[in-house]
Amino acid sequence: MRDTAVLVIGLLTAINLLQYKYLESTWSRNFALYNSVLLTLLTIFMAVGLLLLVSGVPRLAANRPRKLILFLAGVILASASISGLLVLRQGSLSGLTLGLTALAGLVLIIVGQFEAGTKDALGIFLATIGMALVTLVPVHEAFGVFAFGDLWAAPNLAMMAGGAALACIGIIVVQGAGEPGGRPLASYGLWLVGVMALFLVPFHEAAEINSNNVYGSVDQTLLATGAIAIAAGAALFLRKLWQEREFVRLVRAGDDRYAAGDHDRALEHYDLALSLNPEYAEAWVHRGSALERRGRLEAAQKSLERALELEPDDHLALSTLSAVFRRAGNPGKALALATRACEIEPGSEVAWLNRANALADLKRPEEALEAFERTLELAPSYGKAWYNKGVVLMLQGRCGEAADCFDEVLGLAPGDERALGMRERCYAELDAKDTGG
């Protein structure tokens, strides 16, 4: 939803290019009013963009509280700086400093919204420096700090060109040649750059910075910059849509192969899907399940732990990881994970089964049988639960009840050789008891 809103707002912003190009002459007799209208529209677009960033606060609070601290720090810094500019309404070095701190606050807001690894942090740093250099040109001229009196002065041109180059390099680094972690930040970053470029066109006229009451060559350059940035943001968004559809297709194909018992092919599909979107916890869970079925326990553990990094309360990941630790010979850890899964999702028959299995391994049969009962209340046709319950009952010497459990398994899967064998053992022990009696 957020990406769709950004695309729509970006396209609405781009429509202003038509106003700049074709409606300027219509407003030629009241140029100040025309600038005010455009400034109002663009300010609304930027405000909505910040609201879109703010909408991520609940997700940050739930999953990444340390990121929330950065986000709130950015909001406070940007708000204080902009308020200071509005109150002081003066140039000089203090005004320039407040403008730069406001930009730093915006960067903290964006960094607080998105995960940033080492490479992403480098890209954000370069893009920030670049945007700061570009922004300094009109700002230092407006505030009269080391002013050259002309935007076309060689130092100003050097700052704008160097800043634009650094910003582009930073965005490319963050984007990471198609790596999913950078796509959202790159898309929003390009869009915001485009809006800022368009905003400067009426702003410099309204603020009477090199104003001539017409849109000249500098304005046309800013218009082109804004159009390119918005188009690039839209292109990233459309590519993201394609990759998301491809991701869903690959995960579904992997699930189909998993259901068919072809775990190797399922893993191939999950790996391809995760190469497109490594931040999707459910795909890591499915991959971990397939690895567990293949007996690759260490790889399965890493896959499931990655899922829990992304979604700490994913009960399916906890349940599957419990099964991995049980197979690895650590029933204590398996019990802890399964118990937590049951607490998070009391209606999960898989979590209850894994808890029952761990209790059985820990030689706590009565508690295990209670957990099996809970499992079968939730899923009466769960063959594995009937079988494992039968094994525990048999070890307790309760062969008649155990035989009933294996009968349930055979009713669900006639010809199950394991259940047939265990039922025969139950009957043999019952016959032996009868004979001995």
Whether 34 maps to a domain, the answer reads yes
Give the per-residue pLDDT at 153: 78
pLDDT of residue 178: 40
Helix (H, G, I), strand (E, B) or coil at 382: coil
At how many degrees (to 10) do helices 92-113 and 31-54 cross?
A: 40
pLDDT score recorded for residue 139? 61
For residue 104, is it within any domain? yes
User: If you average pLDDT over residues 59-79, what whole number do you get?
Assistant: 67
Domain span at 32? 2-218
Distance CA(366)–CA(393), nearest Å, equals: 10
What pLDDT, on a 0 to 100 scale, did the predictor assign at position 374? 93
Residue 247: pLDDT band by 50, 70, 90 thresholds?
Answer: confident
Domain count for the chain: 1
pLDDT of residue 155: 82
- Rounded-to-integer distance, Cα 60 and Cα 15, Å: 33
Percent of the chain with pLDDT over 70: 56
Tokens of 36: 């005010």
Residue 181 pLDDT > 50, yes or no? no
In 10 A of CB 149, how many CB atoms? 10
Is 271 contained in some domain? no
Q: Does the residue 411 lie in any domain? A: no
Question: In degrees to the nearest 10, what's the CA dihedral of 231, 237, 240, 242?
Answer: -80
Alpha carbon distance 250, 244 (integer Å): 10
Do the beta carbons of residue 381 and residue 353 sit within 8 Å? no
* Residue 36 included in any domain: yes
- CA 224 to chain centroid, in Å, comes to 32
Residue 253: both structure tokens together: 């194909």
For residue 60, being part of any structural domain is answered with yes
Residue 358 has a pLDDT of 93
pLDDT of 256 higher than 60: yes
CA nearest neighbour of 368 among 378, 376, 360: 360
Q: Is residue 15 part of a domain?
A: yes
pLDDT at 6 over 60: no
Residue 116 lies in a domain: yes
Check pLDDT > 80 for residue 101: no
